[in-house]
Amino acid sequence: MAHPFPQYNRFVWHPTPEYTERAHLTRFIRQHGIPDFDTLMQRSVEDIAWFTDAVLKYLDIRFYQPYTQVVDLSRGKPWPKWCVGGKMNIVHNLLDKYMGTEKEDQPALIWEGEEGQTVTWTYRRLYEEVNRVANALRELGLGRGDAIGIFMPMTPEIVAAMLAIAKIGGIILPLFSGFGVSAVATRLADADAKALFTANGFYRRGKVVNMKAVADEAAKQVPTLKHIIVHRRVPDFDVPMQEGRDVWWHDLIPRQSPEAETAITDAEDVLMVIYTSGTTGRPKGAVHTHCGFPVKAAQDMAFGTDVHPGDRIWWMTDMGWMMGPWLVFGALILGSTFFIYDGAPNYPDVDRVWALVERHRLTHLGLSPTYVRAIIPHGLEPVKKHDLSSLRFFASTGEPWNPEPWMWLFEKVGEGKRPIINYSGGTEISGGIVMGNPLRPLKPCGFSAACPGIDAAVFDEEGRPVVGEVGEVVIRQPWIGMTRGFWKDPDRYIRTYWSRWPDVWMHGDYALVDEDGQWYILGRSDDTLKIAGKRLGPAEVESVVVEHPAVVESAAIGVPDPVKGQALVVFAVLKPGVEPTDALRQEIHDLVVRHLGKPMAPKAVHFVDDLPKTRNAKVMRRMIRAAYLGQDPGDTSALVNPEAVEAIKRAK
């Protein structure tokens, strides 16, 4: 199999001089006298110390005390030490260093709430708000090494809270704003959190969601938790406050000094623990440091999405997922502006996202394939009524694309001019393994290359690198953004990533590299289908199913079969107004057979109203499979729609 989508095996976007001459990548390559991107890639993985040092200098990452060694591999590839001997604090590089320069009067963040309120904070205003929160945390007795949770809606205050924790040398614990009680409690307890930022509530589709009630219930299960700081996001929405523990943001923060000392931390001091949930076991706390996650985030934002000062980037995400901190760290290191929105993307109408792009003159928009599939049935009118001329880049992450939605976004919305920078990696990566960039052409659904500095390959079952075959995504050299292990669980970290092949990180994704070097991520390897001896990613099946004009989105899973080993079961979400019928079920069955062959004929096609998804729109196929087979679907706390799991159980 040389290509997962043969009918789309063509380049549809080619870099223009407008993109290439402006690109950070072009500047970086020229600075180092490197002839082209391919040579950069080769050098970046053959000499990771040179490349990392060059990136740190390019991004102007400043140290109070310089490092004496870029990377120390004496404990082996799973446990590198970076910026050895260096003293720094990432907040100095995000805000402090800009004070007294023209940057301080430029916008750092722009915010809009669902109710229509907008706020802009300059770099100076953000610096002062962070300092006030840092002083407040110190007043409460918090400091270096203390873990502090953030369970808040996407408002400017969540940014100030996050950066203040880093400023005092604490450990940031970002929590998804839609989590239930057990998910919040489990993560806070695992990290021995001493404090929590939350809000009284937030708006979703015009209704108030009581956030404080979740925080209160969770706090009962966390004996180390001594302080809860509550932001009044919703006016006139009263919540109970526990004396001695709870304090209102507006009572504590505004009275603090706008100047605060930045803690001088070791480069490898823990900055943040981001929890990722699997289908079994407790959530994994990916450990990140001051010189790790933010540097990788900024590198990818620069070299992939090509964000510059004056640009305005919005990624549709939550601070509890890695793309939230990624957005903040990357944009501020690059001296640009990030946009955050607290609300539903289709409220009060389906055109809300495009209205935001127009109103705030956004230049970069990060979205998910699921979002695009959901808006296609509404046609182009909601898009075309807005001026999108400011927009230069689309970007996407979270799950594999299907060709038709990708082409719709590229041709209809992007007018065939704006590249879609596909991005795939993970929380443990601090960003991307593979990514598009402004120097390489793009095929539908493809990634133009691995990220510079990432020695990625696709391995077959024998551990050999392959082209034109589906296999496991691996990384053969360490990189500065890699997690420093799982919080309090080093053995699980080794088992998860380093146990298949010696000194090789196995990421858990299945992918294919075609003859032109384009990458295609086809799903999690534990989602992979192996039917009648043939291995294929669920995205290949789902792309066929969504070709049917009645289908909005789909999920494909493999179930045990005595003859084929696995049999294919398809779940389809139909467009509004389409009736689920046996005839339609047969049409979808026949479509899969026609495209993929008789051995891939679905054993069953089920119609459902929705697919289980995380807040960042990742379809959870493992949960679908477990629910369908009557097994425990695992931790469903990350889902925005856990009721979809129950619907799958009934789809027999």
**Range in 1-15, 70-84, 224-238 with the lowest mean pLDDT:** 1-15
Q: pLDDT (tens digit, 9 = 90+) per residue, 95-150?
A: 999 999 999 999 999 999 999 999 999 999 999 999 999 999 999 999 999 999 99
Question: What is the spatial order of strands in the sheet that 312-315 belongs to?
Answer: 118-122, 107-113, 337-342, 312-315, 364-367, 393-396, 420-426, 431-435, 449-450
Q: What is the pLDDT of residue 374?
A: 85
Q: What is the pLDDT of residue 650?
A: 83
Q: What is the pLDDT of residue 567?
A: 87
- Give the CA angle between residues 236, 241, 246 to the nearest 5°: 115
Mean pLDDT of 528-537: 68
Report the CATH number of the 124-263 domain.
Answer: 3.40.50.980
- Helix or strand run (H / E) with residue 352: helix 352-360
**Range in 3-7, 338-342, 482-486, 521-525 with the lowest mean pLDDT:** 521-525
Fold classification of 6-89+269-523 is Rossmann fold (3.40.50)
HSE-CB for 239 with a 13 A CA cutoff: 28
Looking at the predicted structure, is the pLDDT value of residue 14 above 90? yes
Using CB atoms within 10 A of its CB, is residue 314 exposed (0-12), middle (13-18) or buried (19+)? Answer: buried
Mean pLDDT of 46-63: 98
3-state secondary structure 130-188: HHHHHHHHHHCCCCCCCEEEECCCCCHHHHHHHHHHHHCCCEEEECCCCCCHHHHHHHH
Q: What is the pLDDT of residue 616?
A: 61
Sign of CA dihedral 421, 422, 427, 430: negative
Q: What is the pLDDT of residue 279?
A: 41
Mean pLDDT of 622-648: 82
Q: How confident is the model at residue 390 (pLDDT cuts 50, 70, 90)?
A: very high
Fold classification of 527-650 is GMP Synthetase; Chain A, domain 3 (3.30.300)
Q: What is the pLDDT of residue 280?
A: 45
Rg (CA), the chain: 24
**Range in 56-65, 74-83, 554-563 with the lowest mean pLDDT:** 554-563
User: Within 10 A of 459 (CB to CB), how many other CB atoms are there?
Assistant: 20
Q: What is the pLDDT of residue 4?
A: 83
Q: What is the pLDDT of residue 606?
A: 94
CB 593 within 8 A of CB 601: yes
Q: What is the pLDDT of residue 1?
A: 57
CB 137 within 8 A of CB 193: no
Q: pLDDT (tens digit, 9 = 90+) per residue, 226-252?
A: 999 999 999 999 999 999 999 999 999
Looking at the predicted structure, is the pLDDT value of residue 189 above 70? yes
User: Most distant CA pair in the chain: distance in Å?
Assistant: 72
Looking at the predicted structure, is the pLDDT value of residue 535 above 90? no
Q: What is the pLDDT of residue 313?
A: 98
Q: What does pTM read for this prediction?
A: 0.88
Question: Which part of the chain is CATH 3.40.50.980?
Answer: 124-263
Percent share of the chain, pLDDT over 70: 96
User: Within 10 A of 6 (CB to CB), how many other CB atoms are there?
Assistant: 9
Among 106-110, 510-514, 586-590, top mean pLDDT goes to 106-110
Q: Give helix 293-303 / helix 323-333 axis angle, nearest 10°.
A: 70
Question: Which part of the chain is CATH 3.40.50.12780?
Answer: 6-89+269-523
Q: How much is the mean pLDDT over the chain? A: 93
Looking at the predicted structure, is the pLDDT value of residue 281 above 60? no
Q: What is the pLDDT of residue 544?
A: 87
Mean pLDDT of 316-325: 94
Question: Which part of the chain is CATH 3.30.300.30?
Answer: 527-650
Looking at the predicted structure, is the pLDDT value of residue 470 above 60? yes
